[in-house]
Amino acid sequence: MRSPRLQLIAGCLLTPLLAGCFSSSGGDSSSDSSGSGEGGRLSIALAFQPVENYSPYGEDAFTLSRLAVAEGLTRLDANGTAAPALAESWSSEQGGKSWVFKLRDAKFQDGTDVTAKAVATALAHAAEADPAPSAISGVKLTAEAVGDDQVKVTTADADPVLPLRLSNPALSVFAPKAYAEDGKVNVVGTGTGPFEITKTTGSTAVALDRFDDYWGGRAQASGIDAKFVTDGTARANALRTGDVDIAEALPVAQVASLDEKTVHEVNTARNASLYLNTQAGVFKDAGLRAAAREAIDTSVIAKGVYDGYAEPAKGLFGPALTWASGKRTEPTGRAKAADPKGKNITIATYNDRPELPEAAQVLQQQLEKAGFKVKLEVRAYARLESDLLAKKFDAAVAARNMMLDTGDPVTVLASDYTCDGSYNLSFLCDKNVDKLVAGAQSETDTAKRQDGAMRTEAAILGTDAVIPLVHQKIVTGIATSVHGAILDPYERQFVGTGTRS
């Protein structure tokens, strides 16, 4: 390789961004077990239905990741750094414009080998997806095979966090036969994870069997039967009655009725926030956005709705990110609050996370007291997302893990708050915010990148396009017979080779 070049061995990409470690039930390590045991099938209740027929290029990618079906070249480790997955090591050249990833010996679930050509093809399909996966939104990415076991990934501009981007589940690698000419991806039996999909039942259930040739070792569970149960009370009841072994995202209102030994909580980088539509309707007016912010008491939501499993939000980056609090500055450029004068607004939210409708009801009361007339629209997320992104509501109450996409704080700001952002629920398009994001993206030093993220946070909050409500904890229900379930602050992993009953 040409000189000069920057070499970064896997696991040494960035200083840890997230405090704490992944934990697993029963004190077992679920990510590095050889899986030599022979366990039965696991039954799991997941909160979110697939919305795009398991397409790996949207939110369904995280379902595939949580069920250990698919993986990419890298993954996030407990500290938020890029760690080996299908790539066992990597290095950069050309000032960070190109990265070369050395592949490990692995197989696809259809029995074919994971080759450099197959990986390059998979990344090319992801780069051509429309819309682009959020992790590479705005990034011009190409990939080519270098021999049989190396892949060279090149970006138009130097990208110091490319290995972090490639950990995003939307950039998972599938066997060549998975990719159709129309851009669709058949994920059944074509991934590389320890479990392979064998049957899907619409958006209600999916069955998986153990993939015995998984490079990371044979899983201890023989398979997984996953149900998509959008009602939180129903998920808790299924755990209570023994119908499922693991239940995702339990409502805090149900915790007291469960065996305390089955309740597990973890701090996350997830916020619940009120996103105000800055492009259409009432909240195009910055003064009315300011009026909404001044009307909201977040402590009422933290105590009354989340019952101590959240705390009032201090910004976009919560206490799970220990570096954020010391770098936070006050929001800049806020408008003066205007009189709502009885203006009608519609706030949308989804009931897959049961606290969100309750939070929306509290907001309705607070905003009506301030002079707005408020209507609520509550649906399952699968039925809401398209209308949310089509600007059909004045505001939305939504939960967002700020580290979900890449583990890099700047990348999520680019996705959620820039003019070309792929998940911009506020439809914010502010030249100053875009400039600050671009500046932060150019930083290769971790501390400077974090500084840039916090300057951008202050500018975003100054627009009142988003009103952070609470920083959340996630509550997972795990039967006492289950060991090795993964409590992941990034919410990308749920089961692994060591998860068993």
Measured between alpha carbons, how far is 45 from 227 in angstroms, rounded to an integer?
5
Give 233-237's long-range contacts (Cβ < 8 A, gap of 24+): 233/354, 234/45, 235/45, 235/47, 235/477, 236/477
Examine residue 366 and state whether it is found in any structural domain, yes or no: yes
Examine residue 467 and state whether it is found in any structural domain, yes or no: yes
Task: Give the pTM.
Answer: 0.75
pLDDT per residue over 151-181, tens digit each?
A: 999 999 888 889 989 999 999 999 999 999 8
Instruction: Give the model's confidence band at 137: pLDDT under 50 very low, under 70 low, under 90 confident, else very high.
Output: confident
Q: Is the pLDDT of residue 27 over 70?
A: no
Examine residue 501 and state whether it is found in any structural domain, yes or no: no
Q: Is the pLDDT of residue 13 over 60?
A: no
Largest Cα–Cα distance of the chain, in whole Å? 67
Taking the alpha carbons at both ends of the chain, their separation in whole angstroms is 48
DSSP 388-412: HHTT-SSEEEEEEETTSSSS-HHHH
Examine residue 459 and state whether it is found in any structural domain, yes or no: yes
Measured between alpha carbons, how far is 192 from 219 in angstroms, rounded to an integer?
13
**Residue 460 and residue 483 in one domain:** no
Cα 279-284-287 angle, rounded to 5 deg:
155
Examine residue 199 and state whether it is found in any structural domain, yes or no: yes
**Residue 175 and residue 285 in one domain:** no
pLDDT of residue 37: 55
Taking all residues of the chain, what is their mean pLDDT, rounded to a whole number?
A: 89
- Classify residue 166 as exposed, middle or buried by CB count within 10 Å of its CB (0-12, 13-18, 19+): buried
**Residue 186 and residue 286 in one domain:** no
Instruction: Give the model's confidence band at 189: pLDDT under 50 very low, under 70 low, under 90 confident, else very high.
Output: very high
Examine residue 494 and state whether it is found in any structural domain, yes or no: no
What is the CB-side half-sphere exposure of residue 150 using CA atoms within 13 A? Answer: 11
Q: Is the pLDDT of residue 42 over 70?
A: yes
Cβ atoms of 97 and 162 closer than 8 Å: no
**Residue 209 and residue 62 in one domain:** yes
**Number of domains making up the chain:** 2
pLDDT per residue over 297-350, tens digit each?
A: 999 999 999 988 899 999 999 888 878 888 999 998 999 999 999 999 999 999
Q: Is the pLDDT of residue 7 over 70?
A: no
pLDDT per residue over 50-62, tens digit each?
A: 989 999 998 899 9
Cβ atoms of 178 and 185 closer than 8 Å: yes
**Residue 67 and residue 162 in one domain:** yes
**Residue 192 and residue 271 in one domain:** no
Closest CA to 31 of 501, 490, 482, 488: 488
**Residue 211 and residue 281 in one domain:** no
The whole-number average pLDDT for the span 61-90 is: 92
CATH code at 208? 3.40.190.10
**Residue 281 and residue 150 in one domain:** no
Cβ atoms of 403 and 412 closer than 8 Å: yes
Examine residue 369 and state whether it is found in any structural domain, yes or no: yes
**Residue 108 and residue 207 in one domain:** yes
CATH code at 452? 3.10.105.10
**H-helix or E-strand spanning residue 414:** helix 409-417
The whole-number average pLDDT for the span 429-438 is: 97
| Those residues with Cβ within 8 angstroms of residue 172's Cβ, 6 or more apart along the chain or in another chain | 56, 61, 64, 65, 70, 71, 72, 122, 191, 192
**Residue 40 and residue 136 in one domain:** yes
Measured between alpha carbons, how far is 76 from 72 in angstroms, rounded to an integer?
11
Cβ atoms of 44 and 227 closer than 8 Å: yes
* 422 backbone dihedrals φ, ψ, rounded to 5°: -85, -15
Examine residue 228 and state whether it is found in any structural domain, yes or no: no
**Residue 177 and residue 289 in one domain:** no
Closest CA to 67 of 217, 224, 191, 199: 224
Please give the residue range of the domain that contains residue 165: 23-221+479-487
pLDDT of residue 79: 67
**Residue 405 and residue 287 in one domain:** yes
Measured between alpha carbons, how far is 494 from 22 in angstroms, rounded to an integer?
10
The whole-number average pLDDT for the span 372-383 is: 95
Name residue 411's amino acid.
T
Cα-Cα-Cα-Cα dihedral sign, residues 239, 223, 270, 25? positive
pLDDT per residue over 361-374, tens digit each?
A: 999 999 999 999 99
